[in-house]
Amino acid sequence: MDRTQGKANFGTAPVFFTSISTILGAVMFLRFGYAVGNVGFIGTLGIILFGHLVTIPTAMAIAEIATNQKVEGGGKYYIISRSFGINVGAAIGLALYLSQAISVSFYLIAFAEAFDPVFNWITAVWGVENIDKRIISLPATLALSLLMIRKGADLGMKALYAVVAVLFLSIILFLAGTTEYQQGLEVFDWTVRIGEPDNFFLVFAIVFPAFTGMTAGVGLSGDLKDPKKSIPLGTLAATLSGMAIYALIAWKMAVAASPEDLDADQLIMSDIAVWGPIIPIGLACGTLSSALGSIMIAPRTLQAMAADNVFPIPYLNRWLAKGKPVTNDPFNATIITSLLAIVFVVIGDVDAVAEIISMFFMITYGSLCLISFLQHFAADPSYRPSFKSRWYISLLGAILCVFLMFQMNAPYALVSLLFMTLIYFFVTFTSKSKEGLAKIFQGVIFQLSRRLQVFLQKAEKDEDTWRPSVICISRDFFKRPTAFQFMSWLSQRYGFGTYLHYIKGYLSKESNKMAGEQLKRLLQVSGASKSNVYVDTLVSPSFTSAVAQAMQLPSVSGKEINMILFEFSKYEPENLEDIIDNFTLVRAADFDICILGSSDKEYGFFQSIHIWLTRNDLKNSSLMILLGYIIMGHRDWKRAEIKIYAVVHAEDMTEQEERLLALIKTGRLPIAPKNIIILKHKDEVSVKDIINDRSKDADLTVVGFRGEALKQLGAEVFAGYDSIGNVLFVNAAKGKNIV
């Protein structure tokens, strides 16, 4: 559905008037005197300034985000969903919608408070007491709902202009009024307040909803001719105007009435104004305008979510997204919003729910500030707003939102966050879109990764600490997963692995397309295996050129590559000669070399790792033991044990046994002394025969090899291990320190 078809084409004025009418609402008329009476004029200024430390960053964040992207219907929901992803946007948007919809009933309940003078007159003249104020709030809700359902936003805006005019008139007459207290005031005391006042944060929690209307106009985004212009101008103008008006009202109250009178009389403004009745009229207009703004905004949020197919029932999405033929006013969504408002007006007492709703508003504001901050930090080239806030302003707003939530009511804050989390998981489970929290942090992770890589490259290398940074080149990924499995174990916790799927050929349009398709397959498999291996493809005319290219690639981890892994099939070793031919090339770069011989047994039951040491493994031994230890750290091998077999000549037995036991005594290797087996080597029995006999049931056998032997014997070095499963052949460039 095209949400831009048939827009009302409003300008900036509706955004300003919708926001300012919501800002200057019930709290200003009913609770500002209480605030000045309890914390004094200076404390009230602090509340105003502190509150605007949240609202101004939010207004600036909205202005920034709105000038970077096309903003359609749904206001804050649209901005959040297009920045965080549909699932996160839906979780926040549903909470936002509920707070907007139930706010209609709050404002209309407060609207009934404006009739207190009428009720008092009826009681005095007719003797009727305890009049239920729902005789005002309920018909007002029905009338307002019918107005919006039948006439839509266009008539609502015309009514809003008249309401705002009366609202400003009441403020002017209030500021122009005077009292005997004011005339007798000789010295203005900025700090005077009642005895035993409420604490600052309690007063702040009561007054803060007065500042939350600045984003109300954003909900008209789908009906604006130029949202990128109207949203920033209208929102910021309403925020700053509201801040100035609140400061003037606080000053007028402080000079015109005593703290005791301000605290005791919630309609004290009537006693100060030039014409007292204008205050209840202004209260009625203020609450009615806020209700009018909310009942215009809430259905548009619901309509936008339905248009994104957020709800799990397709028919419900189509029904809620349906608008009027010409203006696209959310007809069905307005019906649902009106029914919800009527239910809460009938209930009447919604004070407890009001605090949770305030929490949802705070979550929305915090999310908007967080979007702005993350976009600044991510440095996305596509993020080029014409209006720019500052990252530290957005960060301040986000932090303050969370802080104030817990200051206002910690249990409700936790309930709100839990509710949001449950909605997110429900929407993620039922939605076709799988964009989630990852979208929020993609740019941030990129920047962190970039900076960490540069830092690691420039940092001094600790020669005493070794961890594997492995690269594997293989053309047999889709034939045998053994090399990839091995890489995943090394990369799980202690190291970093890059798996390159080798494609033989020259780089061309066709081979590049093939590489892209193969990479998608690699990512699917690696994602399903939940490995930490970085995968990629490499097109090269020969295996030697591929090895040379891979060795010169910068490591994605930011650390230099120090190990290369090759793999061959023990039964069909067609690529073994290629591996041997490139041994000298790899050795020239001082890489540790591991060659994995794969068998049909694969890795068996992940129960045992056998490490075989000989007198020729002086340099290899420490690396072989370290690799065994690293593999054991993976969850696949959690029930496994390492056995070290040392095959030595008789004269070396005592020395080798002491050396190996010394390693165990350091406590750094999970190998019990009983699992160190010293075998006396008899010349008439080959080492390979001993290994085949002792390790026939091992799940992985680790064997060292020397470059000199490879030059003399070639592929014979890796042959003759037919009775055992997978074998890892290790050649270390130099000895490793494992103590």
In terms of Cα–Cα distance, which of 592, 641, 337, 328 is closest to 466? Answer: 592
Task: Indicate the pLDDT class of residue 705, thresholds 50, 70 and 90.
Answer: very high
Least confident of 377-386, 480-489, 508-517, 716-725: 377-386
Q: How many angstroms from the chain centroid is the CA of residue 522?
A: 27
Answer whether residue 8 shows pLDDT above 90: no
pLDDT computed for residue 647 by the predictor: 85
How many CB atoms neighbour CB 411 within 10 A? Answer: 10
For residue 230 the two structure tokens come to 């109207």
Q: Where are the alpha helices (DSSP H) in 257-330?
A: 259-264, 268-272, 278-307, 314-321
Q: What is the DSSP letter of 461?
A: P
- Amino acid in the structure at residue 132: D
User: Greater confidence, 628 or 362?
Assistant: 628
User: Greater confidence, 224 or 474?
Assistant: 474
In terms of Cα–Cα distance, which of 7, 303, 3, 333 is closest to 148? Answer: 333
Query: Which residues are CB-contacts of 55 (< 8 A; sequence separation ≥ 6)?
Result: 211, 212, 214, 239, 365
The pLDDT of 706-728, averaged and rounded, is 91
How many CB atoms neighbour CB 380 within 10 A? Answer: 16
The pLDDT of 163-177, averaged and rounded, is 87
Least confident of 215-229, 304-318, 631-645: 215-229
Answer whether residue 277 shows pLDDT above 80: yes
For residue 167 the two structure tokens come to 């609202």
Distance, in Å, from the CA atom of 74 to the CA atom of 176, rounded to the nearest integer, reads 40
Q: How do strand 727-731 and strand 592-598 relate by DSSP bridges?
A: antiparallel
Distance, in Å, from the CA atom of 383 to the CA atom of 369, rounded to the nearest integer, reads 15
Summarised one tens digit per residue, pLDDT across range 133-142 is 788 888 888 8
pLDDT computed for residue 158 by the predictor: 66
Q: Report helix, strand or coil for 633.
A: coil
pLDDT computed for residue 732 by the predictor: 92
Q: Note the CATH number of domain 460-731.
A: 3.40.50.12370
Task: Indicate the pLDDT class of residue 403, thresholds 50, 70 and 90.
Answer: confident
Q: Note the CATH number of domain 12-437.
A: 1.20.1740.10
Write the Ramachandran bin of 329: left for phi over 0, alpha for psi from -120 to 50, otherwise beta: beta
Q: How far apart are the first and last CA of the chain?
A: 67
pLDDT computed for residue 73 by the predictor: 59
pLDDT computed for residue 350 by the predictor: 47
Answer whether residue 670 shows pLDDT above 70: no
Burial (CB count within 10 angstroms: exposed 0-12, middle 13-18, buried 19+), residue 548? middle
Answer whether residue 14 shows pLDDT above 60: yes
Element (H, E) at 644: strand 641-648
pLDDT computed for residue 2 by the predictor: 43
| Exposure b/e, 692-731, CB count within 10 A at least 16 = b | bebbeebbbbbbbbbeeebeeeeeebbeebeebbbbbbbb
Q: Report helix, strand or coil for 540.
A: strand
Task: Indicate the pLDDT class of residue 5, thresholds 50, 70 and 90.
Answer: very low
pLDDT computed for residue 24 by the predictor: 78
Distance, in Å, from the CA atom of 526 to the CA atom of 354, rounded to the nearest integer, reads 47
Tell the residue number behind the tokens 């307005």, with chain if given.
Answer: 334
Prediction pTM value: 0.64
Answer whether residue 476 shows pLDDT above 50: yes
Distance, in Å, from the CA atom of 148 to the CA atom of 155, rounded to the nearest integer, reads 8
- How much of the chain, in percent, has pLDDT values that exceed 70? 85
The pLDDT of 266-292, averaged and rounded, is 84
Query: Which residues are CB-contacts of 137 (< 8 A; sequence separation ≥ 6)?
Result: 105, 108, 109, 111, 112, 345
pLDDT computed for residue 638 by the predictor: 85
pLDDT computed for residue 353 by the predictor: 56
Distance, in Å, from the CA atom of 699 to the CA atom of 628, rounded to the nearest integer, reads 12
The pLDDT of 171-193, averaged and rounded, is 87
Q: Where are the alpha helices (DSSP H) in 114-199?
A: 116-126, 134-176, 180-184
Q: How do strand 563-569 and strand 469-474 relate by DSSP bridges?
A: parallel
Answer whether residue 354 shows pLDDT above 70: no
Tell the residue number behind the tokens 């780089």, with chain if given.
Answer: 507
In terms of Cα–Cα distance, which of 83, 689, 23 is closest to 368? Answer: 83
Integer CA distances (angstroms), 716 to 191, 616, 721, in order: 93, 17, 10
Domain ranges of the chain: 12-437, 460-731
The pLDDT of 675-690, averaged and rounded, is 82
Half-sphere exposure of 467 (CA within 13 A, CB side): 14
